[in-house]
Copies of this chain bind each other. A is one copy, B any other.
Amino acid sequence: MDKARVGIIGATGYAGAELLRLILGHPKAEIAGISSVSFKGMEISEVYPMYKTYCDMVLINQEDVIAKSDVIFAALPHGLSQEIAELCDRENKVFIDIGADFRLKDENDYIEWYGGEYRNKGLHEKAVYGLPEFFRSEIRGKKLIANPGCYTTAVPLALFPAIKNGLIELNGIVADCKSGVTGAGRAPTQTNHFPELNENFYAYKIASHRHTPEIEQTLSSLSGESVKITFVPHLLPINRGILATCYARLKEGVTEADVKAAYEEAYKNERFVRLCREGKTPTVKAVRYTNFCDIGLTVDERTGTLIAVSAIDNMVKGAAGQAIQNMNLCLGFDETDGLLTVPPIN
């Protein structure tokens, strides 16, 4: 079988470069074209010398990338994907959007949190939300996928079995999340200048981060009720990883054994979800460079609280890896193809 011809739009951003890494290692896909506005005409290995001899392809413009490809990934700031989606739709190509333009079902949420409008409502109806552990059957064979954000992957995976089995109260959920700095992208900023972030740590966009409505959309969809959460992200002085520490009140009478049984049942067939061994907790290092979500569970009997902690690599399961997982489902490949490279220990 010929390999799928893959194009990456925005290949020099961190998510784009991670997509490139994963496609270069994928047994059934190959790079057909890569684009960049800032570095057009340069070889990707001039921008990222680690790629030298692995991939020295020249960066071209996005139209040419689309023309050369069967599957297109876009890793762009929000607002720039709708036009690409229309073009791919017309030409019947698979489009997987790493950005936020197709994630929110309710246009009002998009208007409120992102400030833009939906240009082509029909396309938004076609778009499938690409969190495979919850929506696998909807993703299979589709051609327009909204790849979830990073926090919006970590938090629902931490809470799903408790919600599905009715173990927790749906109001009062707190998601205290901590992310490595690659999540903020490649463009230099004052706050992410090395001397400023190094040896620092703080919360940002407290109760006002754009991932809030997206997390709530997923939790509401899973529970069948409208769920509101308190979501506070923090910035870690490390490159990769998200740790989501989620708090929810347990319903009367629910035990730690109930909780663990629910999670084991819910995730027993999920190749990319690992429940921690007894007495162990998730670490961002254990999932670094992988598509795994590790989950640890504690019941605080003193206060009747479930503490569910999940860890993912924000660049992999939180972005490029999940996008490959979605591509595999869209194209009928094995869901794990290209996603099981053994990670380093440090």
Contacts and interface: CB of A to CB of B under 8 A. Distances in A.
A344 interface: yes
Interface string A209-228: 00000000000000000001
Contact of A195 (B181, B196, B277, B292): B181
Interface of A: 14, 17-18, 21, 24-25, 46, 48-55, 171-172, 174, 176, 178, 181-182, 186-190, 192-204, 206-207, 228-230, 232, 234, 236-241, 243, 245, 247, 249, 271, 274, 276-277, 280-290, 292, 294, 296, 298, 300, 302-303, 305, 307, 309, 311, 315, 340-346
Given A188-B190, A243-B201, A274 B53 contact: yes
B174 A284 contact: no
A212 B116 CA distance: 46
Nearest to A54: B342
Q: How many monomers of this chain does the complex have? A: 4
Contacts of A25: 341-342
A51 B277 CA distance: 13
Contacts of A14: 195, 345-346
A17 B300 CA distance: 35
A322 to B, nearest CB: 16
Nearest to A200: B285
B195 A290 contact: no
Given A193-B192, A206-B307, A341-B341, A240 B17 contact: no
A284 B309 CA distance: 23
Nearest to A201: B284
A307 B311 CA distance: 23
B236 A305 contact: no
Contacts of A285: 50, 196, 199-202
A217 to B, nearest CB: 14
A229 to B, nearest CB: 7
Most chain B beta-carbon neighbours within 10 Å: one of A285, A305, A315: A285
A187 to B, nearest CB: 8
Contacts of A18: 344-345
Contacts of A52: 274, 286
A51 B342 contact: yes
Given A14-B345, A188-B188, A346-B196, A176 B245 contact: yes
A54 B341 CA distance: 9
A309 B17 CA distance: 27
Given A51-B342, A198-B239, A230-B300, A207 B245 contact: no
Contact of A203 (B186, B245, B277, B346): B245
Contact of A207 (B207, B234, B305, B346): B305
B345 A305 contact: no
A328 B18 CA distance: 29
Contacts of A236: 201, 236-237
A202 B238 CA distance: 12
8 contacts: A14-B195, A176-B247, A178-B178, A194-B239, A195-B346, A198-B198, A207-B302, A232-B245
A298 to B, nearest CB: 4
